[in-house]
């Protein structure tokens, strides 16, 4: 028997979870295993019930599970809340506290659904891209951050920051993934203008060349990558990138398939349960 924590979240989330439970019920009967599924709160639902977007009891339940299934969070109702009382803050807390540093987002075009894509058939047919996104660093978590008043006007700021060790561990995940797929890894950065991206490029190059000699490594600036994903997506096999670039590019890649809701997403760490969800994240 496996312990599964269910996080229905907000908006369409409970409806998604209801359908998932039906599918999992069928799988249990067909494959001969048992799942003990227990709900927990996250996002706007948790704010309404507990005044906390990811209560400690939810975190503890997730940590003690074999796996976590998340639907989605968010909604206009909470958009004007202070930052600490927004649904997205609960999502970031879950990732950080559970050590979910690696996000795997595959975009594979299925022949039966090829017409769901907004791109031409000859562009998307056969596309099979894995986006490996670093999930617990970068500008989403960097400090200092905030909104201050300087010289009589408001100034907003965030810190785009990575430690060498954070880049090393996501590079190893990406190298392992690429070696089990087509053997090609494209690292996406903005090293021509960002110092943090130069460090990213240097560390990824060092890890892949030393530890994954069977993987063909290339580098691409993020603006070019965004264009190339639409222009000729079949050139990509595995992509590795930082948190904010990965957030944007993986959402873009979903439209190769046709919809964010049609893609799976796995957030994993070095140990403990992973979190599995539809790619869209927002309700």
Catalytic positions: 140, 190, 223, 247, 251
Round to whole Å and give the CA distance between 71 and 261.
10
Q: Tell me the β-bridge partners of 128.
A: 108
- Determine contact, residues 185/178, Cβ cutoff 8 Å: yes
Q: 6 in helix, strand or coil?
A: strand
Place of tokens 């903005």: 190
Q: 237 in helix, strand or coil?
A: coil
What the block records as the tokens of 151 is 């010289």
Round to whole Å and give the CA distance between 128 and 92.
28
Q: 102 in helix, strand or coil?
A: strand
From residue 171, how far is each of 45, 59, 135, 190 by CA, in Å?
35, 27, 12, 16
From residue 268, how far is each of 1, 42, 168, 280 by CA, in Å?
21, 18, 15, 17
């Amino acid at each position: 028997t496996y312990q599964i924590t269910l996080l229905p979240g907000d908006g369409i989330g409970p409806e998604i979870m209801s359908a998932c439970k039906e599918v999992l019920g069928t799988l249990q009967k067909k494959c001969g295993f048992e799942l003990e599924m227990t709900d927990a709160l996250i996002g706007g639902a948790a704010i309404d019930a507990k005044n906390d977007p990811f209560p400690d009891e939810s975190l503890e339940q997730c940590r003690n599970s074999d796996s976590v299934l998340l639907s989605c969070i968010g909604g206009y109702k909470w958009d004007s809340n202070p930052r600490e009382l927004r649904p997205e803050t609960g999502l970031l807390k879950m990732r950080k506290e559970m050590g979910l540093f690696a996000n795997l987002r595959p975009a594979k075009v299925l022949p039966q659904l090829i017409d769901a894509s907004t791109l031409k058939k000859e562009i998307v047919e056969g596309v099979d891209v894995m986006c490996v996104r670093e999930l617990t660093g970068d500008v989403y978590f960097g400090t200092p951050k905030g909104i201050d008043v300087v010289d009589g006007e408001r100034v907003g700021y965030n810190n785009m920051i990575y430690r060498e060790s954070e880049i090393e561990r996501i590079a190893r995940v990406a190298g392992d993934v690429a070696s089990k797929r087509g053997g090609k890894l494209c690292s996406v950065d903005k090293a021509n203008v960002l110092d943090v991206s130069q460090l990213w490029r240097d560390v990824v190059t060092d890890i892949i060349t030393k530890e994954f000699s069977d993987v063909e490594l290339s580098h691409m600036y993020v603006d070019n990558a965004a264009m190339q994903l639409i222009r000729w997506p079949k050139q990509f096999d595995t992509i590795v990138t930082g948190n904010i670039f990965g957030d944007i590019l993986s959402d873009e890649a979903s439209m190769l398939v046709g919809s964010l809701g049609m893609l799976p997403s796995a957030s994993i760490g070095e140990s403990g349960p992973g979190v599995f969800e539809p790619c869209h994240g927002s309700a």
